[in-house]
Amino acid sequence: MASPGSRVYIVDDDAAVRDSLSLLLGLHGFDTITFPSAESFLAAQSPESSGVVVVDLRMPGMSGLELQAELQNREIPLPVIVVTAHGEMAAARSSFKAGALDFLEKPIDSDQLLGAIRDGLERETERLRRSADAAEVSRQLARLTPREREVLERVVAGMHNREIASELKISARTVEVYKARLMAKMGVERIPDLVRVLMAARP
């Protein structure tokens, strides 16, 4: 399987365009997968898909903008680059409003395309890193006892030991014990690091 850092999906009903783009991108080290329609592309995707999509605006059946909208509906957060031979500004505005990474006119400028793809793959790499961080934090949180989670919520909210002890009706010393245990399970040594880990893992 291609790595997320180099995978590019080419969606175009023109076989010559698919072949030329695949050749160009392959020469620059990208792994390409081509599809003749938006429908065939969507049939092969899932929320776990990664990479960048280069899609033609006008195709029989579902258009490039409709594909972009459907990816959002299915919560598949792939960066999308829309290409067109028509130069329609309204379509360009719509694609950007819907979150497209870029909107390129045919004939496609190779440097512009390569730059947009690299930007998209950098965005994907960062998204996957955040997703992995969030998954690890979720695993760590799952190891906490109910009481440790109660203490954690209050620590992150900025409450002091005595405040937490009073609210939970336990001693301040017991709060310290719970804090030490939960921080060990979360793999941190300081409260600021605990807060940073939890904030960084948010999607």
Q: Read off the pLDDT of residues 7-54 as tens digits, 9 standing for 90 and up.
A: 999 999 999 999 999 999 999 999 999 999 999 999 998 888 889 999
44 domain residue, yes or no: yes
Position 203 pLDDT exceeds 70: no
- Out of 154-158, 172-176, 193-197, pick the least confident: 193-197
Q: Please check the confidence at residue 2 and state whether its pLDDT lies above 50.
A: no
What is the enclosing helix (H) or strand (E) of 32?
strand 31-35
User: Domain of 85: which CATH number?
Assistant: 3.40.50.2300
Q: Specify the pTM.
A: 0.70
pLDDT at 5 over 70: no
Assess whether the previous peptide bond of 107 is cis (omega < 30° from 0): yes
Nearest to 106 by CA among 88, 81, 87, 122: 87
User: Are 103 and 194 part of one and the same domain?
Assistant: no
Give the pLDDT confidence of 59-73 residue by residue, as tens digits: 999 998 899 889 989
Structure confidence at residue 1 (pLDDT)? 38
DSSP state of 106: S
Same domain, 20 and 120: yes
Strand 80-84 versus strand 102-105 pairing type:
parallel
Q: Give yes or no: residues 67 and 119 share one domain.
A: yes
Asked if residue 1 belongs to a domain, the reply is: no
Closest CA to 17 of 2, 32, 39, 1: 32
136 occurs within a structural domain: no
Among candidates 77, 55, 81, which has minimal Cα distance to 124? Answer: 77
Residue 33's domain comprises 7-131
How many structural domains is the chain composed of?
Answer: 2
Residue 177 has pLDDT above 90, yes or no: yes
CA 8 → CA 5, 11, 30, 32, distances in Å? 9, 10, 7, 5
Residue 98 has pLDDT above 80, yes or no: no
CA-to-CA distance for 71 and 93, rounded, in angstroms? 18
